[in-house]
Structure 1
Amino acid sequence: MSFETFEPTAGILLYIAAVFLATGVVKGVLGIGMPLIAIPLLAGTVGPIAAMSLMAVPTIAINLWQTAQSGYMGGALKRFRAAYPLLIGGVILGLFFLTRLDRGALFVLIGVIVMLIALSQMLPFNLAIPQRWERWCTPLVGIVSGLLGGVSSFLGPLMAMYLVALRVTKDQFVGAIALFYLIAAIPFYLGLGVSGHFGWTEFFASAAAAFLIWLGVLAGQRLRARASAELFRKLVLGLLMIVGANMVRKGLM
């Protein structure tokens, strides 16, 4: 489905706006990646690929800002240089499959990935990767993350677990993950454009989404000081499990 053939009602538009605001709130409270929240909630309304295209402006804008603010761009470019070409190649290969899967298969694929990501976040993660292994692990994580990103736009969780296992500092983590997102997002959305899934209509809709998400982030930052972050995280992950299971159900029907 594309926005050229999408016929929204007032109720659907309100739902889409609410999803973007909620995505921003979750981002503001927990910092969880925006596509992971928005895409499964929107896929049943506008279609999976159209949902991904709506995240173009928010994804590029926030990761460009975080990369610039981190002060770690040069360090990340040098340390993880072996990952970037494979990340881009993986995104392109993943996109090839994304644009050729039928709607049912795409729903099942994204639903399973969402549930696996939510489950991984519920389990304790204490893996530590020795520095001597980094030379070999970085390219592998790059290609696998690229494939996941290309077929679903969810490259962040695997990359985040890898950076945590490397025991990078908080500032290094933010700068490195934002740069990975930025480098992957450019070929991903260019590919959607070439395949006819991202044009000016999608761009302007995505810009409007960015504004709503920004409002949600501001609200989430205020809420973070008052709410229990751990309880909020469990509720969000539980919701993702339900949404992912529902996507699988729809895909199999």
Structure 2
Amino acid sequence: MDIATDDISLALLFGTFVLAGLVKGVTGMGLPTVAMGVLGAKMSPLAAAALLVVPSLVTNIWQWLDGPARGPLTRRLWPMMLGIVAGTLAVTVVLVRVDPLWSGSVLGGVLITYALYALCGPGFTTSAHRERRWSPAVGLGTGLVTGATGVFVVPAEPYLQSLALTRDELVQALGLSFTVSTIALAIGLSLHGAFRLEAAGLSALAIVPALVGMWAGQAIRQRISPALFRRCFLVFLLLLGAELALRPLLR
């Protein structure tokens, strides 16, 4: 599948990634989730996922490398990363072949689930013994969701938050998880002919607005409560997810 430039205006592309970068700058996460949600409301999730690849990869590699724990975290979390790759490559064909209306509905369901859990779900802690057993399964589940919807956060984010990580380690761990998810998604899309030169070029254009948004978000974080901003962001995702999920029923 090719992505025609008519499918998206540059204003929408830039505005989406400024917003997504802003959320990431304030909260440390959310760029792929916001980008998929907003773009998925205007185009197929497949096309949105292809546009997401380059800015997501750049910002998440930056996040992963920005700290001293990248080596220990990579050694600790490699079973989860293998699961992400396996799950993503196994089901990317779903994102490529399913009717965009229904894949958008699934994307909406994932956004609703994530937003509700993040707003209302109880926190939990994963012991070292359980971590050894759960990491591959969580990675596989994250990969399956990534391959089917282009969203990386479920169940990776709640699981990583349950580990005994410092705040800085958590930010790096999320960067590692999202980097691996992005690379696996790009490979999966390429294998099915859905990530080509034109898509890569449009995706690369989104790097600048994403970085501008991240810079602005980091500045805003010093002036507002990140917790309040995150709650507003999750309510926004909940409403956006509901619109996507219900779209097939409203036609």
Q: TM-score, normalised by structure 2?
A: 0.91
Aligned residues: 250
What corresponds to 1:193 in structure 2? 190
Q: Does 1:249 align with 2:229?
A: no
With over 3 angstroms needed to count, the CA separation of the structure-2 counterparts of 1:175 and 1:235, relative to structure 1, is closer
What corresponds to 1:225 in structure 2? 222
* Structure 1 portions without partners, runs of 5+: none
With over 3 angstroms needed to count, the CA separation of the structure-2 counterparts of 1:243 and 1:2, relative to structure 1, is farther
CA distance in 2, matches of 1:163, 1:7: 39
Map 1:197-216; keep pairs closer than 5 Å: 197-216=194-213
Percent identity among equivalent residues?
A: 28
Q: Does 1:3 align with 2:12?
A: no
Provide Cα deviations, 1:110-154, integer angstroms capped at 9, x if missing partner.
Answer: 000001111111025321122221111111111111111111122
**Contact persistence 2:45–2:150 (CA under 8 A):** no
CA distance in 2, matches of 1:45, 1:53: 14
CA distance in 1, matches of 2:216, 2:91: 35
**Contact persistence 1:24–1:220 (CA under 8 A):** yes
With over 3 angstroms needed to count, the CA separation of the structure-2 counterparts of 1:102 and 1:68, relative to structure 1, is same
CA distance in 2, matches of 1:229, 1:68: 22
CA distance in 2, matches of 1:31, 1:86: 23
CA distance in 2, matches of 1:35, 1:98: 16
CA distance in 2, matches of 1:2, 1:44: 18
Bigger drift between 227-236 and 21-30 goes to: 227-236
Q: Give the C-alpha shift of residue 64 in structure 1.
A: 1.6
> Of 107, 110, 114, which residue of structure 2 is paired with 1:117?
114
CA RMSD of aligned residues (A): 1.9
CA distance in 1, matches of 2:86, 2:161: 24
**Contact persistence 1:71–1:175 (CA under 8 A):** no
CA distance in 2, matches of 1:235, 1:177: 21
**Contact persistence 2:93–2:192 (CA under 8 A):** no
CA distance in 1, matches of 2:170, 2:225: 23
Provide Cα deviations, 1:80-133, integer angstroms capped at 9, x if missing partner.
Answer: 232232221101112122222111210110000001111111025321122221
Provide Cα deviations, 1:19-78, integer angstroms capped at 9, x if missing partner.
Answer: 221111111122232111111111132321111111111111122222222222321232
Q: Tell me the secondary structure at the aligned position of residue 42 of structure 2.
A: helix
**Contact persistence 2:142–2:152 (CA under 8 A):** yes
> Of 17, 24, 30, which residue of structure 2 is paired with 1:33?
30
**Contact persistence 1:63–1:182 (CA under 8 A):** yes
Q: TM-score, normalised by structure 1?
A: 0.91
With over 3 angstroms needed to count, the CA separation of the structure-2 counterparts of 1:72 and 1:231, relative to structure 1, is closer
> Of 157, 160, 165, which residue of structure 2 is paired with 1:160?
157
What corresponds to 1:65 in structure 2? 62
CA distance in 2, matches of 1:67, 1:221: 16
Q: Tell me the secondary structure at the aligned position of residue 17 of structure 1.
A: helix
Q: Does 1:77 align with 2:74?
A: yes
| Divergent runs of 4+, >4 A | none
Map 1:126-205; keep pairs closer than 5 Å: 126-205=123-202
**Contact persistence 1:70–1:174 (CA under 8 A):** no
With over 3 angstroms needed to count, the CA separation of the structure-2 counterparts of 1:167 and 1:125, relative to structure 1, is farther
What corresponds to 1:100 in structure 2? 97
